[in-house]
């Protein structure tokens, strides 16, 4: 997969923020490259199909309003969120009771790296960039 390029030349900061919130931080003539990423399910609880991550915040949890819906015990309605900026993708726990794990470690917030294993409830995903 090719990196996603957000080109914000000649646009004011408000328009840049509408297209992608991180683009506005670089000013009206900025070019920002983001690597594409996806979550690859590792067990039946995570599903069967890889999930591409868009260049916007993505919520994960049991509620139907989440971009990525995860069912099962230990999954809150709005459990976690993945955001993206010029540094990469960040996973944040949204105050869940059971926690969010990256590579078997409970985290509140973590910058994701290629091949990190994310666990929410019983669902396990591998984060893959590129």
Per-position pLDDT tens, the chain of length 130: 434 333 333 334 443 444 445 555 555 666 656 679 999 999 999 999 999 999 999 999 999 999 999 999 999 999 999 999 989 999 999 999 999 999 999 999 999 999 999 999 999 999 999 8
Instruction: Tell me if 123 sits within 8 A of 100, measured CB to CB.
Output: no
* Cα–Cα dist 36/47, whole Å: 20
Whole-structure pTM value? 0.76
Residues 6+ apart with CB under 8 A from 16: 8, 23, 24, 26, 28, 30
Instruction: Tell me if 55 sits within 8 A of 4, measured CB to CB.
Output: yes
Instruction: Tell me if 33 sits within 8 A of 56, measured CB to CB.
Output: no
Instruction: Tell me if 63 sits within 8 A of 75, measured CB to CB.
Output: no
Q: Is 9 helix (H, G, I), strand (E, B) or coil?
A: coil
């Amino acid at each position: 997969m090719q990196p996603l390029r957000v080109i914000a030349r000649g646009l004011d900061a408000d328009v840049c923020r509408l297209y992608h919130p991180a683009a506005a931080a670089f000013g009206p003539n900025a070019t920002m490259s983001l690597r594409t990423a996806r979550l690859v399910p590792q067990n039946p609880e995570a599903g069967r199909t890889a999930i591409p991550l868009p260049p916007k915040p993505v919520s994960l949890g049991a509620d139907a309003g989440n971009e990525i819906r995860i069912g099962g015990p230990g999954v809150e309605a709005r459990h976690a969120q993945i955001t993206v900026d010029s540094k990469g993708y960040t996973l944040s726990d949204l105050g869940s009771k059971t926690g969010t794990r990256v590579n078997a470690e409970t985290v509140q917030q973590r910058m994701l790296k290629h091949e990190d294993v994310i666990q929410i409830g019983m669902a396990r995903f591998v984060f893959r960039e590129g």
